Structure 1
Amino acid sequence: MERKEIHTGVTSSNPIHFTTVQKEMNYNLKYEQSLALWSVPYKTWYEPTRFGQTHIISCGPDDGEPLILLHAMGFSSTVWFPNIEVLAQRYKVYAIDFIGDLNRSAPSILPANRDECGEWLDEVLDRLEVTDCIIGGISYGGYLAINYAIYATHRIQRLFLLSPAASFVPLHKQFIYRIIVMNAIPMKWSVHHFIKWLSKHKLNKTLIDQFHAAFRYGSLSLRVPPGVYSDDELKRLDMPILLLLGDQEVISDANLAYTRATQLCKNIYAEIIPGAGHLLNLEKPEYVNMKINEFL
């Protein structure tokens, strides 16, 4: 199938994330190379919010049920390339670059707390004229997806979570330390060392090059670190939930996350996938696609 990319709206400079035009251009080149991995027709554009310009990749049938995708920290929406063909068959997909992270979105101010993260996504969905939707997230995107499901429960029909960062249990201190080191020394070797620790599987080189470019050329701007949701907050999530975790998860305790999630969430199917680390959709794409498809 022929891929078609259509740019509309603005292509604004991004001074909060990139200090020079050249750095922004270098990153954008790697982003476009990763986006070329998408195997379906798509279009991209920006939606204005009070936090700045939000970059969106959209595909799938116009009359499909809206499906919102939120990405892992540092990876951007291009991280969904192994899943997008399956999801775009039935759903109108909007993969949204979180405005507080390194990607193509161009913030004027950064969301400073969980409520502002909810306000930002509320504005984006309003601009898209999406009243209710399915929402899915991986890693930090899973944390944001839960946050929005708590913030605007009435808008969420179903929720799928791949290795959500923290959320159910605290992050390991080693993960936080490794992020700090990688950000301080954004060389190719340090980024690859971090990725090899995060995942024992060989991942797509083009996507990893984009991840490296984010830290090499950009300034880490995340102001809302992932945390653990309270019992009361998790009990409010009454929509159907799919939670997938890897048995080789390194950023937190997957077994404890599984136990707490299944005890507190009313309508959840959770599974720990053998032989998988943190980046489930990149490591086990066929199995993850099957589980998401069954759930949806």
Structure 2
Amino acid sequence: MRISRFRNDRARDRFLAAYDRTLDQLWPGPRTALDVPTPYGTTRVLRTGPEHGTPIVLLPGSGGNALMWHRYVAELAQHHPVLAVDTVGEPGASVQTAPIVDGRDGAAWLEELLTALDVPAAHLVGCSYGGWLALCHRLHHPGRAASLTLLDPAGLAEIGARFYLWLIAGGLASAAPRVLRPRLARLVGNSTILESELMGLMRASMGFRRALPVPAVLTDEELRRLDGVPALFLLGERSALHRSPEVAERLRTLLPAARVELVPDAGHALPTDRPELVADRILRTAGR
């Protein structure tokens, strides 16, 4: 069975020590850490904000975890409960125990998680891979999402070589001396490398073996089935993941009720390229 896991106990312990240290450094205000059992493994959820109301559920991108949302939670938690998730199968505090082989499995994991958390309705916010999971959940479990905010989500076009070159360039730039990183971030179009603490956590995850599926491209028929809830597709105009103008045109044709916004001067690292805009759009979609 293909299951994401750390190479050995030493690699896991080193990462978890870095995770806890980074959490204490970055997370604003109080939070409750929940370890929620699901058929796919135990899922870590960081909960903050008010006790009542429809929660905002934050799903990170590939290789990330709940800590990527640290700069958002304080503002979002003024209006909604916030549940920031370490996706099972990604490097974080969750522990995968069963394989996730496709989008249906990913959707089933998220549905089991929300059921266990007693969340009858949620404002789903997904970045990149997390956006694909949110879309798959809406397709296979259509009754639970109160809204969708998708930040340059995967699954809308084939992933080409340009994206993998972008990842490699970002990884190399993140290892450069700190004084050079702002210039390199502009050069490669990846502002994430300026998040020094998160980059340190990423380096601590090198002993993690990820075994999650490549996002399948949603068909036209599947995209039409997403209709029925407020949805915002926020696309970085210079995204390396896909050709955003073409994706935007496809979405506007197939989902005329959805909001589709191309963000100028932003790429696939949309949450760090334009954090104020992203926070505003999340709250516009979920309701303040």
Structure 2: where are the runs of 5+ without partners? none
| TM-score calculated relative to the size of structure 1 | 0.85
Are 2:136 and 1:136 aligned? no
- In structure 1, give the amino acid aligned to 2:204: A
Alignment match, 1:26: 14
Alignment match, 1:208: 199
Match of 1:264 among 247, 254, 257: 254
The residue correspondences of 1:37-76 to structure 2 (distance < 5 A) are 37-76=26-65
Q: CA RMSD in A?
A: 2.5
Distance 1:16 1:172, change over 3 A: closer
Q: Greater CA deviation, 36-45 or 194-203?
A: 194-203
Structure 1: where are the runs of 5+ without partners? 1-14
> Are the equivalent residues in 1 in contact too, given 2:234–2:263 (CA < 8 A)?
yes
Distance 1:258 1:176, change over 3 A: same
SS at match of 1:157: strand
Take 2:167 and 2:99, find their aligned partners in 1: how far apart are those partners?
A: 20
Take 1:97 and 1:217, find their aligned partners in 2: how far apart are those partners?
A: 17
Are 2:160 and 1:172 aligned? yes
Alignment match, 2:82: 93
SS at match of 1:261: helix
Take 1:263 and 1:82, find their aligned partners in 2: how far apart are those partners?
A: 34
Q: Quick one: percent identity of the two aligned structures?
A: 28
Are 2:68 and 1:79 aligned? yes
Alignment match, 1:107: 96
Cα displacement string for residues 25-81 of structure 1 (whole angstroms, at most 9, x for unaligned residues): 111122223323121311112111111111111111011212211101111111111
Q: Greater CA deviation, 136-145 or 239-248?
A: 239-248
Take 1:73 and 1:295, find their aligned partners in 2: how far apart are those partners?
A: 23
Number of aligned positions between the proteins: 275
Cα displacement string for residues 145-178 of structure 1 (whole angstroms, at most 9, x for unaligned residues): 111111111111100011102x222112232466
Match of 2:188 among 178, 186, 197: 197
Once the two structures are TM-superposed, the CA of residue 197 in structure 1 deviates from its matched residue by 3.3
Match of 1:276 among 266, 271, 280: 266
The residue correspondences of 1:177-188 to structure 2 (distance < 5 A) are 188=175
